[in-house]
Structure 1
Amino acid sequence: MSTDFFFGYGSLVNRATHDYPEAHPARVSGWRRAWRHTSLRPVAYLTAEPDPDTQIDGLVAAVPGADWAALDKREAAYDRHTLEPRRVRHPVGRAIDVQIYAVPEASSAAPSIRHPILLSYLDVVSQGFLKEFGEDGLADFFATTTGWDAPILNDRAAPRYPRHLKLSAEELDLVDHHLSALGAKILVD
């Protein structure tokens, strides 16, 4: 018998944003991360998109009792998709069924000045990758995510992301370094 798991590739990589106790670093092939806006939210968020040439790191975490209600509420702008077992590398040690959340194409659009990426959200995601995968893993997050031409709203002084977290000066410097290397357009809040 297998257990229901989700694959988190954005803020769910940061364990401080959830309380799923059985979580493990994992890698999914055939998907990539992308910045997208959805009509269901006022700002841009990460989504997963099929891409046969890409692998992305993240966390797999068990959904206790296969009770998806709380996670579905958190991820309300997304649809859940079942991943083929051969696409998921994980250290769980037993058969698991893994699902991934993705913004439906029909309600997906490119980020814009009116619907930017929140830097407070990106900070949380980056902190999670740094803690789980180290500096190389954080660099890989930036390299395997598309849509960095999107505007990024610097809301660090007054975070708009509801699960924002405090980052150390070193963590903030790493995020800023990667954004600078990408030539990201930072908007002042």
Structure 2
Amino acid sequence: MSIFVVKGERTFYNDDVHKRIPSGAIKISQEFYEKLLQAQSEYKTLDFSVCPPEILERDAEWPSVADLQAFIDDQVASIYANWSRFEKEHLSRENAARQYKDAGYQGDAGIWIKSYADSAGLTCTEAADLIIQQAEQQRLDQEALAVLRMRKHELDIVDGAARFERYQLLAEEIAQIGSVDSY
């Protein structure tokens, strides 16, 4: 994979994705590309009027409290959307696992547990326990996300760089929870 950039265009071209790379495109190293992406995530500006682009420190103007709070809401909503994608399936699987456990792991484990056990190489008992554990962890993670989302109001009491730093800390904590695989 090679990354290219064209002076004046605020776009990166990846030869694995883009079948046609514009003439005048200049190849940049993977390390430099990652450095540019990191700079953007730190709310720095990339100057594409030169090639390769330069990283510019931000102006003294910071995003508003409302914008940062909206970013936090959007980040949490994205995680919830991912989790709820198969919510009905997860609830059915959890209910089956709890019933199987309550029955002393006796009798037919049912398709919800068997399909998970077979694909994961587990016994039905191990699968049921893991399903319950994952469901409980997801509820704990949801509570943690709710707390972090409400902590967005901390941004009301600080200004400028301090506000943005607090926002970044909250966003990092939210991202950590969102990066955990749910079942």
Give me the TM-score of the superposition, normalised by structure 2.
0.21
Higher share of residues assigned helix: 2
Q: Which has the higher contact order (CA 8 A, sep 6+)?
A: 1
TM-score (norm 1): 0.20
The structure with the greater share of residues assigned to strand is 1
